[in-house]
Amino acid sequence: MDTSNGTGAGRSPQVTGAPRAAVFDVDGTLVDTNHLHAVTWWEAFRQAGHHVTTHEVHRAVGLGSDDLVARLLGEEQAAREAESISAAHAVLYGQYVARLAAFRGVGSLLRTLADQGWRIVLATSAGGAELSALRAAIDADDVIEATAGGDDVERGKPAPDPVALALDLVGAAPERSVFVGDTVWDMRAGSRAGVRCVALLCGGIPRQDLEGAGADAVYDDPAHLLAELKGSPFDGRE
Residue 15: is its pLDDT beyond 70? no
Residue 233: is its pLDDT beyond 90? yes
Q: What is the pLDDT of residues 76-126, one digit of tens each?
A: 999 999 999 999 999 999 999 999 999 999 999 999 999 999 999 999 988
Beta carbons of 25 and 182 less than 8 angstroms apart: yes
pLDDT at position 2 is: 52
Q: What distance in Å separates the CA atoms of residue 176 and residue 70, rounded to the nearest whole number? A: 34
What is the rounded average pLDDT for all residues in the chain? 92
The DSSP line for 162-212 is HHHHHHHHHT--GGG-EEEESSHHHHHHHHHHT-EEEEEGGGS--HHHHHH
Beta carbons of 32 and 100 less than 8 angstroms apart: yes
pLDDT at position 127 is: 82
User: Could you give the dihedral angle defined by the CA atoms of residues 182, 90, 106 and 120, in that order, rounded to the nearest 10 degrees?
Assistant: 80
Q: For residue 2, which phi and psi values (nearest 5 degrees)?
A: -110, 115
pLDDT band for 161, please (50, 70, 90 cuts): very high
Q: What is the pLDDT of residues 36-84, one digit of tens each?
A: 999 999 999 999 999 999 999 999 999 999 999 999 999 999 999 999 9
Weakest mean pLDDT among 7-16, 87-96, 173-182, 210-219: 7-16
Q: Residues 153-182: what's their mean pLDDT? A: 96
